[in-house]
Copies of this chain bind each other. A is one copy, B any other.
Amino acid sequence: MSLRHAILGLLARSPSTGYELTRKFDRSLRTSWHASHSQIYPELAKLERAGLVEVVSRGARRSKTYGITDSGREELRHWLVEAEPDRSQRNESGVRLFLTPLLDPADRHATYERDLSHVEVELDGLEELRAQVNASEMPEPFAPQIELGIRINTVIRDWLREQLDNGG
Residues of A within 8 A of B (CB): 2, 5-6, 9, 12-13, 28-34, 76-77, 79-81, 85-103, 107, 110-111, 114, 118, 141-142, 144-145, 147-148, 151-152, 155-156, 159, 162-163, 168
B159 and A147 within 8 A (CB): yes
Please tell me which one of the listed residues B87, B98, B111, B148 contacts residue A28 in the complex, with CB atoms under 8 A apart: B98
User: CA of A102 to CA of B81 in the docked complex: distance in angstroms?
Assistant: 11
B31 and A89 within 8 A (CB): yes
In the complex, what residues of B have CB within 8 A of residue A147's CB?
159
Please tell me which one of the listed residues B81, B98, B148 contacts residue A159 in the complex, with CB atoms under 8 A apart: B148
Count this chain's copies in the assembly.
2
CB-CB nearest 10 A-B residue pairs: A32-B94, A9-B99, A90-B90, A34-B88, A101-B141, A151-B155, A2-B92, A86-B92, A89-B91, A81-B107
User: CA of A155 to CA of B158 in the docked complex: distance in angstroms?
Assistant: 13
In the complex, what residues of B have CB within 8 A of residue A151's CB?
155, 159
Most B C-beta atoms less than 10 A away, residue of A89, A110, A142: A89
Please tell me which one of the listed residues B13, B34, B81, B156 contacts residue A89 in the complex, with CB atoms under 8 A apart: B34
A144 and B168 within 8 A (CB): yes
User: CA of A73 to CA of B139 in the docked complex: distance in angstroms?
Assistant: 50
Nearest-Cβ distance from residue A98 to partner chain B, whole angstroms: 6
